[in-house]
A and B are shown apart, each in its own frame.
Chain A
Amino acid sequence: MNLHARFATQVGSLHLECDIRAEADTTVAVLGPNGAGKSTLLRVIAGLHRVDTGHVHLGDDVFDDTDAGRWMTPEERRVGFVFQDHGLFPHMTVLDNVAFGLRSRGVFRTTAREQARAWLERVDLASYASNRPSALSGGQTQRAALARALVTEPRVLLLDEPLAAVDASGKLDLRRALREHLRTFSGVRILVTHDPLEAASLAERVVILEDGRVTQEGEFSDVTARPRSAWIARMAGLNLLRGVVTDDVLLLEGGTAITVATDVRGPALATIHPRAVALYRRVPEGSPRNVLKGRVANVDPEGDRWRIQIDGPVPLVAEVTPVGGGELHLADGGDIFASVKATEIDVYAQ
């Protein structure tokens, strides 16, 4: 049973327009910066936001179809939604929270409570059954919300930043536990996150959503190896260049020509790893490399490396050792020459 959502909708100043498919038994991570429309996408699938035009189908079921004038209410869709704030009902016990969905679908109280209790055991919360949600920690709340969504056996599971409300210390275990629980659910799974780590560890496929548009999709490793937008490149820690290749020369949009070694011709993207950028205070002589002049804009020590942000006609990020950075007095700023070997530039068609 596949989910297909293709729609356009206006939310405040954001115009969200996407065409997203998700297969059963697969976790799709929708990754993107804040305000890109990720949560709205989930709200559209759940039926909490009605689109201006387009459709949302799950298998043969029509959730939403503006052309046919059809719309299914959220309660009819059988979509499990784990909200960013987890949304537990503060006036009910943890057990009644988990049993709520079953009770709403007409399951008798005792049966609903039994099933809810079984789920609480699965997520290690059995001892909190009669507590109010306020007694739970962030991680426990997340697990209770997950149990509440899964106990009703939904056809689609939506997770909105499931670990955002959890403090960093517990994240590692929770992420692993969440992956285990996701594996046991065989429906469509869509996870929204701004955290690349979450996307990489929980999802088989990522969809990058930026400013209301899908900019790239595929496996996480492929997407980060060959980013198609500045945001993805930054997330992957790569420098991204955009231009046109003719005869081993990449002519950048700003007019700078860079020598590359590639078979690609025409409009292309290119990445340079920050460690492949060598820095000099004076023009390196007799070098076969590309040399780009710029100014040191920022120095950011990160572990055993310094990340150097260089402004100029071609903005770049370079990584140097603290020793190298100290010798070049990079902390003082000033003019700098960045050199990159043609073979260190990965070029791919746009």
Chain B
Amino acid sequence: MNRGVTRRPLIGLVIPAAVAVLFIVVPLIGLLAHVDWPNLPSEVTSTDVLTALRLSLECSLLAVAFSVVIGVPLAYLLARTAIPGRRVVRALVTLPLVLPPVVGGIALQTALGTTTPIGTALHTLFGISLPFTTLGAAVAEAFVAFPFLVITVEAGLRQRDDHLEEVAATLGARPWRRFWLVTMPLAAPSIAAGAALCWARALGEFGATITFAGSFPGTTETLPIAAYSSFEGTGRVGEAITFSLVLLTISIVVLVLLRDRWLGALK
């Protein structure tokens, strides 16, 4: 047994590893140290914070809903069928993950802006305008966040082959019945995990949203954007810290609630 020897940590690695841990912890301590705790309750319940929070929830939940509706079918097709160009599509899906969000926002603006063909069509057909609207903010968030859902759900579907769907077929279940009663229930854990990841990403989305939808309080100024504008534009650091604290709290709750599930689904 040489486990004792090989398990002894190398000092040369302990130092950078400790720096890595501090790297996460120190900014958090900095944030918490500057919270004006006595006035926190009133600040958190101020109109500004509540408006931004409500808007953030609205936009991020819309983004998740849209991502599930388009992302689950895509994940299913990628995982279970031999559609042509599958590799290209899979690479495309991961693009928003690595693309700078600002570029995403600009791309959305050039494709869906009011003067573009699609933007004009949306406006004349449905009376919808995306740039600088709440719906636009949701679209920008969805653009950045939906790959998380697709990748998680596809991985979940791939963990299992289509054997149980075959069983269902021999029992007389037609394709749609197999999809709704076998495929979807068994994929539910990975869909939940993917939606949670997608939601967390949408909630923190900044670059694409501000580029495509701007920062109008009550319309497109979500929590991260509000935090940034108080911090940078007006120098109201205290308010920025309050916004940040709200976001941090939400993130920790999501992490704790879903740690087993989504780590399991990502494996």
Interface residues of A (CB under 8 A from B): 46-48, 73-75, 77-81, 83, 85, 87, 89-91, 100-101, 104-105, 148-149, 152
> Contacting B171 at CB < 8 Å: which of A48, A73, A85, A152?
A152
Q: Is the beta-carbon distance between B177 and A104 smaller than 8 angstroms?
A: yes
Interchain CA distance A74-B174 in the complex, whole Å? 9
Q: Is the beta-carbon distance between A90 and B186 smaller than 8 angstroms?
A: yes
Q: Is the beta-carbon distance between A101 and B171 smaller than 8 angstroms?
A: yes
Residue in chain A with minimal CB distance to B170: A81
> Other CB < 8 Å A-B pairs besides A46-B170, A78-B172, 12 of them?
A48-B170, A73-B169, A75-B171, A81-B170, A83-B163, A89-B164, A89-B167, A89-B182, A100-B168, A100-B181, A101-B172, A104-B173
Interchain CA distance A298-B48 in the complex, whole Å? 88
Residues of A near B170 (CB, < 8 A) are 46-48, 74-75, 77, 79-81, 149
Query: Is residue B185 contacting chain A, with contact meaning CB distance below 8 A?
Result: yes
Interchain CA distance A149-B171 in the complex, whole Å? 7
Q: Is the beta-carbon distance between A87 and B174 smaller than 8 angstroms?
A: no
Interchain CA distance A77-B177 in the complex, whole Å? 17
Residues of A near B232 (CB, < 8 A) are none
Residues of B near A77 (CB, < 8 A) are 170
22 contacts between A and B (CB under 8 A): A47-B169, A48-B170, A75-B170, A75-B171, A75-B173, A75-B174, A77-B170, A78-B172, A80-B170, A81-B170, A87-B163, A87-B164, A87-B166, A89-B167, A89-B168, A89-B182, A100-B168, A101-B171, A101-B172, A104-B171, A104-B173, A104-B177
Q: Is the beta-carbon distance between A104 and B164 smaller than 8 angstroms?
A: no
Residues of A near B166 (CB, < 8 A) are 48, 74, 87
Q: Is the beta-carbon distance between A152 and B164 smaller than 8 angstroms?
A: no
Q: Is the beta-carbon distance between A74 and B169 smaller than 8 angstroms?
A: yes
Q: In angstroms, how far is the closest chain A Cβ from the Cβ of B223?
A: 37
- Using A91-B185, A104-B174 as known contacts, say yes or no to A48 and B169 having CB atoms under 8 A apart: yes
Residues of B near A75 (CB, < 8 A) are 169-174
Interchain CA distance A149-B172 in the complex, whole Å? 10
Count residues of chain B with CB under 8 A from any CB of chain A.
Answer: 16
Interchain CA distance A79-B170 in the complex, whole Å? 6
What 0/1 pattern do residues 152 to 186 of B give for CB contact below 8 A with A?
00000000000110111111111001000110011
Interchain CA distance A85-B174 in the complex, whole Å? 22
Residues of B near A101 (CB, < 8 A) are 171-172
Interchain CA distance A77-B170 in the complex, whole Å? 8
Q: In angstroms, how far is the closest chain B Cβ from the Cβ of A132?
A: 12
Residues of B near A74 (CB, < 8 A) are 166, 169-170
Residues of B near A149 (CB, < 8 A) are 170-171
What 0/1 pattern do residues 112 to 132 of B give for CB contact below 8 A with A?
000000000000000000000
Interchain CA distance A76-B179 in the complex, whole Å? 17
Which of A101, A149, A152 gathers most chain B CB within 10 Å?
A101
Residues of A near B185 (CB, < 8 A) are 91
What 0/1 pattern do residues 199 to 229 of B give for CB contact below 8 A with A?
0000000000000000000000000000000
Q: Is the beta-carbon distance between A100 and B186 smaller than 8 angstroms?
A: no
Interchain CA distance A73-B164 in the complex, whole Å? 16
Residue in chain B with minimal CB distance to A77: B170
Q: Is the beta-carbon distance between A91 and B163 smaller than 8 angstroms?
A: no
Q: Is the beta-carbon distance between B167 and A152 smaller than 8 angstroms?
A: no
Interchain CA distance A47-B169 in the complex, whole Å? 9
Residue in chain B with minimal CB distance to A80: B170
Which of B164, B169, B173 gathers most chain A CB within 10 Å?
B169
Q: In angstroms, how far is the closest chain A Cβ from the Cβ of B161?
A: 11
Residues of A near B174 (CB, < 8 A) are 75, 104
Residues of A near B167 (CB, < 8 A) are 81, 83, 87, 89
> Contacting A91 at CB < 8 Å: which of B171, B173, B177, B186?
B186
Q: In angstroms, how far is the closest chain A Cβ from the Cβ of B173?
A: 4
Interchain CA distance A100-B173 in the complex, whole Å? 8
Q: In angstroms, how far is the closest chain A Cβ from the Cβ of B178?
A: 9
Q: Is the beta-carbon distance between B186 and A104 smaller than 8 angstroms?
A: no
Q: Is the beta-carbon distance between A104 and B163 smaller than 8 angstroms?
A: no
Residues of A near B171 (CB, < 8 A) are 75, 100-101, 104, 148-149, 152
Residue in chain B with minimal CB distance to A98: B171
Residues of B near A81 (CB, < 8 A) are 167, 170
Interchain CA distance A73-B181 in the complex, whole Å? 19
- Using A74-B166, A81-B167, A87-B167 as known contacts, say yes or no to A104 and B182 having CB atoms under 8 A apart: no
Q: In angstroms, how far is the closest chain A Cβ from the Cβ of B156?
A: 14
Interchain CA distance A104-B171 in the complex, whole Å? 7
The 4 closest A-B pairs by CB, nearest first: A101-B171, A87-B167, A104-B172, A74-B169
Residues of A near B173 (CB, < 8 A) are 75, 100, 104
Residue in chain B with minimal CB distance to A49: B166
Interchain CA distance A48-B171 in the complex, whole Å? 12
Residues B135-153 near A (CB distance < 8 A): none
Residue in chain A with minimal CB distance to B169: A74
Q: In angstroms, how far is the closest chain A Cβ from the Cβ of B169?
A: 4
Residue in chain A with minimal CB distance to B162: A48
Q: In angstroms, how far is the closest chain B Cβ from the Cβ of A325?
A: 45
Q: In angstroms, how far is the closest chain B Cβ from the Cβ of A103?
A: 9
Q: In angstroms, how far is the closest chain A Cβ from the Cβ of B58?
A: 32
- Using A83-B167, A87-B163, A87-B164 as known contacts, say yes or no to A105 and B172 having CB atoms under 8 A apart: yes
Residue in chain A with minimal CB distance to B174: A75
Interchain CA distance A178-B57 in the complex, whole Å? 57
Residues of B near A104 (CB, < 8 A) are 168, 171-174, 177
Residue in chain A with minimal CB distance to B185: A91
Residues of B near A47 (CB, < 8 A) are 169-170
